[in-house]
A and B are shown apart, each in its own frame.
Chain A
Amino acid sequence: MSAWTRRRSFVAGMLLVLATNAIVLGGVVYNRSGEPESRLQLTQRELRPTHSRGSARESGGLGLRLQWRVLPPGTARYAYSYNGGEASWLDQAQLASLGFDVSVPPHVPKARRHYGRQLPREVLLVLELDGPAHQQAVARARQRADEEANRASEANPPARVNRRKAALEALEREQSTASRLFAVDAGLDSATLRARYPDANRYAIIRGKVRIHVQSHIGAGILSGYVSDIGNTEINVPKEFLGALRRDALWPLKPGDTVRPLVRMRVAFGQRLEPWLEGVEPGAASIQPGQ
């Protein structure tokens, strides 16, 4: 290769670097242009620090991870899982609308293999903040606590005491520290979802993944969907907010913790549904139930 050709190659390399950065930054500018698609006021209940970028000797940045939940199907189910879960609202019709092949009846023998082969699909998820899903989760926890309190005396009092204690702790957790952010719907078109959930301060639309599977229940198969992931779980904290958030006094929240200060973090979701941290405000001096 001649010297002139090599020089041209290096120039081409620099143009490639510049073009790639221009495309990436152009996408960022577009995402943050205009009015955000949605804006949620979150607290330490919904955002927790990831592993701090760097050891104690390094002043690496800070990332916050979205803590979101899915309300499990069935009124008797009061267990919950974070960052994924089986969704009661993902029925057969909805799964078909998301592109899954639901032509095989779930109760036939080949259904398990047919649905097990289908890979997760990228969809748009609706995240609801402190709405009916959270109220339902609190109601379920309260119902469980009441049931344990009203349970007739048993032969094994210590087990009864432990169950009652666990139920009360679960209720307190739902009221004070558990995330109020729930995935409540899915679709393929953001305009349709926004029309269905117009309150942009309570509902955010974000990319996520859904998978399909068949549960065998007393010989009858039940088709269900599982929300497995959202696209951007980690939110970078810009330098101007680091001082307010990188404090051990803020994390983690624990049930019964009444002295940890509450911080409200305003997270915006842009035109490409990518989030960023817009603002940080100190809230009430301590966490109260329902906050």
Chain B
Amino acid sequence: MNERGEEIGGEGGTFTAASRSDAQRRADEIRIFTQELQRLERERVLTLSDEQRAAVESHHRNLLARFARVHDVDVDARARQLSLGMRVASFLGALSLAASVFFLFRQFWGEFSVVVQVVTLVAAALGSLAVTAWIDGRDATGYFTKLAAMVAFACFVINVLLLGVIFNITPSDKALIAWAALALLLAYTCDLRLLLAAGLLCLIAFVSARAGTWSGMYWVHFGERPENFFIAAALLFAIPIFIPHRSVSGFEPVYRVFSLLTLFLPMLVLANWGSVSYFDFDPALVEGSYQLAGFGASAGAVWLGARRGWNDVVNTGTAFFVVFLYTKFFDWWWDIMPKYQFFLVLGLISVLLLLVMQRLRVKGYRVFGPAR
């Protein structure tokens, strides 16, 4: 069977690559293994017999050929650079085409009747989706499909926005859920993290706006009570835990990073402006509480990320721990210290943190051995 992501039989055994990222990871491991084997042979640590070498090379050659054909992986450094260039070109192309659609409407909008305007908007959204589906059936690399998918999403956003303008519709947060649904659908279908990010942003805004309306506020003002974002943060963190994402590459880290950003950024705001909290207490008390919560949550994120092997969570938790720490230093010392002393102290503390983390890293290595 030669379908994308399905089990593929090969010479010498079966092997499975559930997604492009699995295949790329295996291709990178093969390249590194080959380089290390050559080094070991040069240093006379290990020498394979001719039979063994031929078997290994043949096996790897078949694997890489199938990965390149089915998943379009980068088999060497040059291919990887070209892939990066293609990704950039794909993104810029999508941006330009979406802008072209928007300005096409602006160019001729006044010459269309309402019926023609509506038909044009719906046809653009449906047509761009149809084109994406057509390209998908013929695009082995996936780059053209991704470009078309981003344009299709942009057409749908313009579709809904301009319908609101034509018919003077009262702005509603319900448009966000429609945009999120299409963005997520296309993201999973085309394995496109950029659309996943767009979909998650729409989802965060919708959930936060709904949380705001439960307290009686007008939905547009949901950002004025940062606690409205916490439900969305919890939801985003839970999704990859309960729904495995084996068939798509790099989606789970996106969920986790967006979840932590949605948690920590509002916490940072509340740690500095307690008056915007739902809690009607003394602002200083609210700020102190959220500062403690920020330290605790970021430290907890680092611990959880280290335990689960989630580097994205470790990095995000560390970054916000430092931000909360530096914010506290600013509160304590900015007014009482000369500026050069303040930054000198920050620099020295950064060096200290570096030394501590290096010690922990070495200690962790000695106790547990190399990471598996």
Q: A54-B109, A60-B109 are in contact. Are A119 and B186 (CB under 8 A)?
A: no
Q: Tell whether, in the assembled complex, residue A274 and residue B188 are in contact, meaning their CB atoms are under 8 Å apart.
A: no
Q: A14-B126, A17-B122, A274-B167 are in contact. Are A242 and B178 (CB under 8 A)?
A: no
Q: Tell whether, in the assembled complex, residue B113 and residue A239 are in contact, meaning their CB atoms are under 8 Å apart.
A: yes
Q: Tell whether, in the assembled complex, residue A238 and residue B114 are in contact, meaning their CB atoms are under 8 Å apart.
A: yes
Interface segment among A24-32, A67-75, A167-175: the answer is A24-32
* A48 lies within 8 A of chain B by Cβ: no
**In the complex, number of A-B residue pairs with CB atoms less than 8 Å apart:** 144
Q: Tell whether, in the assembled complex, residue B110 and residue A59 are in contact, meaning their CB atoms are under 8 Å apart.
A: yes
Nearest residue, chain A, Cβ from B112: A239
The answer for the CA separation of A53 and B106 in the assembled complex, in Å, is: 7
* B275 lies within 8 A of chain A by Cβ: yes
* B6 lies within 8 A of chain A by Cβ: yes
Of A27, A28, A238, most buried by chain B (CB within 10 Å of CB) is: A28
Q: Which of B169-189 contact A (CB under 8 A)?
A: 169-171, 178, 181-182, 185-186, 188-189
B residues near A18, Cβ cutoff 8 Å: 122, 126
Apart from A17-B126, A207-B170, A231-B171, what are 6 other A-B pairs with CB-CB below 8 Å?
A: A10-B133, A21-B159, A60-B109, A119-B224, A234-B165, A234-B168
* B221 lies within 8 A of chain A by Cβ: yes
* A275 lies within 8 A of chain B by Cβ: yes
* B166 lies within 8 A of chain A by Cβ: yes
Q: Tell whether, in the assembled complex, residue A59 and residue B107 are in contact, meaning their CB atoms are under 8 Å apart.
A: yes
Contact string against B for A residues 5-36, beta-carbon threshold 8 Å, 1 for contact and 0 otherwise: 01101101110111011001101100100000
* A252 lies within 8 A of chain B by Cβ: no
The answer for the CA separation of A18 and B130 in the assembled complex, in Å, is: 13
User: Which residues of B are at the interface with A, using a C-beta cutoff of 8 A?
Assistant: 3-6, 106-114, 118, 121-122, 125-126, 129-130, 132-133, 136-137, 152, 156, 159-160, 163-171, 178, 181-182, 185-186, 188-189, 216-218, 221, 224-225, 247, 275, 280
Q: A236-B166, A272-B170 are in contact. Are A59 and B108 (CB under 8 A)?
A: yes
Q: Tell whether, in the assembled complex, residue B188 and residue A9 are in contact, meaning their CB atoms are under 8 Å apart.
A: yes
Q: Tell whether, in the assembled complex, residue B217 and residue A54 are in contact, meaning their CB atoms are under 8 Å apart.
A: no
Nearest residue, chain B, Cβ from A7: B133
Q: Tell whether, in the assembled complex, residue A20 and residue B170 are in contact, meaning their CB atoms are under 8 Å apart.
A: no
Residue contacts A-B, CB under 8 angstroms, 28 given: A1-B247, A2-B6, A12-B185, A13-B185, A17-B126, A20-B160, A20-B178, A27-B169, A31-B167, A54-B106, A58-B106, A59-B107, A60-B107, A60-B110, A63-B165, A121-B217, A121-B218, A231-B171, A232-B169, A236-B165, A236-B167, A238-B113, A239-B110, A239-B111, A242-B110, A272-B170, A274-B167, A276-B168
Q: Which of A50-66 contact B (CB under 8 A)?
A: 53-54, 58-63
Q: Tell whether, in the assembled complex, residue A122 and residue B218 are in contact, meaning their CB atoms are under 8 Å apart.
A: yes
Q: Tell whether, in the assembled complex, residue A6 and residue B136 are in contact, meaning their CB atoms are under 8 Å apart.
A: yes
Interface of B is mostly: helix
Nearest residue, chain B, Cβ from A114: B280
Shortest CB-to-CB span from A228 to chain B, Å, is: 10
Q: A13-B129, A25-B118, A119-B218 are in contact. Are A58 and B171 (CB under 8 A)?
A: no
B residues near A58, Cβ cutoff 8 Å: 106-109
Shortest CB-to-CB span from A4 to chain B, Å, is: 9
Neighbour of B129 across the interface among A10, A25, A28, CB < 8 A: A10
B residues near A122, Cβ cutoff 8 Å: 218
* A209 lies within 8 A of chain B by Cβ: yes
A residues near B107, Cβ cutoff 8 Å: 54, 58-60
B residues near A16, Cβ cutoff 8 Å: 178, 181-182, 185
